[in-house]
Structure 1
């Protein structure tokens, strides 16, 4: 009597646990954290509640911009809005982002990042069109990330590190503003990030199209002659 080896059944993942895992992964990707957060995340304990902290940070940066304390346009004071955001929002990274309103965290981070860029740029009296270019580049990266994850296509982790993350980008801008060279920092950052995000995005989408085409070709080759004839006949009738 010939017996076939019995294979142990593969346990199916818990649907609720899988949903939570995907939700956390998406929101962490939308945060666009960079190398500094990656370095500190495991050392910050449970972290701060992200939504209240994000709202407080947004209001604090707005208050700094409206107060006129950055009117000098250069000097260490220009680091104030950047340090407020970094010191408050970096400790929110360890959270699982599964709270009822935690979907607000990425737009709060992105909105506060853009507000900080605008506040620094206006205080330093730099060309406004250049501010728009940097905001557009970061916004394009955010849109591309959101759209891809909704298609279950995840950007490579190195993209977030090479893209510096919101925290390193703001620290570089703050230092540039303090030294009076913000225009040059914004220009270099815009070119670097624009090239990086554009090339990575185009390469990923082209690679996906090639994989889809190869999969379609494989399906066509595996189809039986009867299926192929039926498909051809159906397409001819439609025509």
Structure 2
């Protein structure tokens, strides 16, 4: 018996747009292995924007009131950030204001790094370099996804995510070894993000060049001449 070939239905454009939007916002969050491991175990989670705003305001309040002093207390803003922001990863980020979640998370991460680093007496130039490295990674992720080029999942895991980066720095500050932790983390992330980014873009350029070369080989002589001269050869 002859059967008709099964055709795969085309995805709904609206659902596909929502899927891409969610994927982009989750990538911009820069969640690490800890968040990825707990994302499906947190139930409905917390609303991303309100929870992140509360964490950000709480950290600012700690700094304004002079609560952040040298010692174990420097781990408190990190714990507040993790407890409030980590549960937001379970949400689909499709709310009207959920696009604010990634910049709020990055801003809260940077503010925590600066406040904890200054309170612990870490070198300011080293804090700046770490912020630059993480900022470059964020820019690279945004630029890629806007061209539908998605960074591999292992990059986010190897990059530790905002949560493990903050926990490492908070623990280092609480134990009085923040400068060493900061230096090691900055060097590790700088090499990781730079090497992965450069190799990915070089590989993409090679694939693009090979694809263009294949198209040129398949083109007719007239098409090849038209591409070379900008006008078709008269028949």
TM bin (shorter chain): over 0.9
Post-superposition offset of 1:23: 0.5
Residue deviations 1:108-164 (CA, integer Å, cap 9, x gap): 000000000001011011111110000000000000000000010000000000000
Residues 228 and 197 of structure 1: is their aligned pair in 2 closer, same or farther, counting only changes over 3 Å?
same
| Number of residues of Structure 1 aligned to a counterpart in Structure 2 | 233
CA contact (8 A) 2:225 2:232 kept: no
> What does residue range 112-127 of structure 1 map to in structure 2 within 5 Å?
112-127=108-123
Give the RMSD, CA atoms, in angstroms. 1.6
Unaligned residue ranges in structure 2 (runs of 5+): none
Structure 1 partner of 2:96: 100
> What does residue range 22-171 of structure 1 map to in structure 2 within 5 Å?
22-71=20-69, 73-74=70-71, 76-171=72-167
| Distance in 2 between residues matched to 1:83 and 1:34, nearest whole Å | 16
Unaligned residue ranges in structure 1 (runs of 5+): none
Please state whether the residue corresponding to 2:38 is helix, strand or coil: helix
- Normalising by the residue count of structure 1, what TM-score does the alignment of the two structures yield? 0.94
| Distance in 2 between residues matched to 1:78 and 1:230, nearest whole Å | 67
Post-superposition offset of 1:235: 6.7
Post-superposition offset of 1:236: 11
| Distance in 2 between residues matched to 1:162 and 1:228, nearest whole Å | 45
